[in-house]
Amino acid sequence: MKKQDRDEQLRRWLREGDPLTDAAEPTSATRATVVEAARQQAARRESPALRLAAGGLVAATTVFLLLTWIALRVPDTTTMPPHTGEIVTLPTDSQARQVQFTTPGGTRIVWVLDPNFEI
Amino acid sequence: MIKNRQVVVVLFIVLLFAGSWTTTVAKDRSGPSHLFQIVLLVGDHDGETELKDVPPNVLPAVDDVRQFLTYKHYRFVDSAVMRSNGKAEVSMTGPENQQIDVKFAFHLAQVDEAGKRKIQVRSFEVGAIDAPPNDQGWHGVLETSFGVDAGETIVVGSSKLNGSDRALIVLFTAVR
């Protein structure tokens, strides 16, 4: 079968299977309405403002979730001083010296030795 | 053009809201409030020991201190209890009736393996304002940072280098 014949046969099948074959042709007013509706829908779909708004909303949501995740995941970087009972000398910003020790009874003491101490 | 401006404004508001909400979440992570007790003692080589007003819960710590430090006498000066969720400051009465200010910041660290809540105390400062006519303004007496367990009493003290004269002793308890 030639390609032309095959195409013609296909068109015939399509016409026979089309339930609206015998329907009346749409009026020009109906056509105009349909065309206008399609045009408006396309305009809405392609509105740059809407596209920007959608993208912005996604970006804002991403930033929001990222900030929340960071806030909840920030590690606790502060370290606890040693709790060993050994004397630990810690630097201070003045002439004062600081030592930490633990009594035999288990009480921890933080002592600041300050030549300028006055009370 | 107007629509674009509106979108930018909306985005700005959304980001502003997100930022403030995140900040709120971060602040909330400072955790619930905690109760602290502060007891002031003076260690001295002269005078008498007066400890009858010391709160019972810190008596074991006072006994430890008396056995460990070299001062002959210990005198109760003042005590205070405060609740805070981040920063605390309290004015107390010193050994010479001067004003003693104790201030510190803290945060609740993670619970350790034994189930104890760790508290990190930072910028723990004790300062004094002498009573008139010797009032020469606020001066710092000691400043330090330390970690403490919930329920623990830690002793923070200060003296001259050779341990002469007297010492200010602060019993700091992180009450439950």
A1 part of a folded domain: no
B25 → chain A, closest CA residue: A71
A103 part of a folded domain: yes
A2 part of a folded domain: no
A3 part of a folded domain: no
Instruction: Give the closest of B18, B42, B120 to A63, CB-based.
Output: B18
Give pLDDT, residue B64: 92
Indicate whether A70 and A88 sit together in one domain.
Answer: no
Indicate whether A28 and A70 sit together in one domain.
Answer: yes
Helix then strand then coil, % of chain A, to nearest 5: 50, 15, 40
pTM reported for the whole predicted model:
0.60
| Averaged pLDDT, A16-37 | 83
Q: Which residue range is the domain that position A56 belongs to?
A: 23-78
CB contact A29 to B (< 8 Å): no
Bridge partner list, B156? A110, B170
* Structural domains of chain A, count: 2
B123-172 tens-digit pLDDT: 999 999 887 776 678 888 889 999 999 899 999 998 887 666 889 999 99
B131 → chain A, closest CA residue: A119
Indicate whether A32 and A54 sit together in one domain.
Answer: yes
Which of A67-71, B77-81, B92-96 is predicted with the least confidence, judged by mean pLDDT? A67-71
A18 part of a folded domain: no
CB contact B22 to A (< 8 Å): yes
How many CB atoms neighbour CB A57 within 10 A?
14
Domain residue ranges in chain B: 1-30, 32-174
Determine the Cα–Cα distance for residues B163 and A8; give it in Å rounded to an integer: 114
Work out the minimum CA distance from B143 to partner chain A, whole angstroms. Answer: 8
pLDDT tops 80 at residue B122: yes
ipTM above 0.85 for this complex:
no
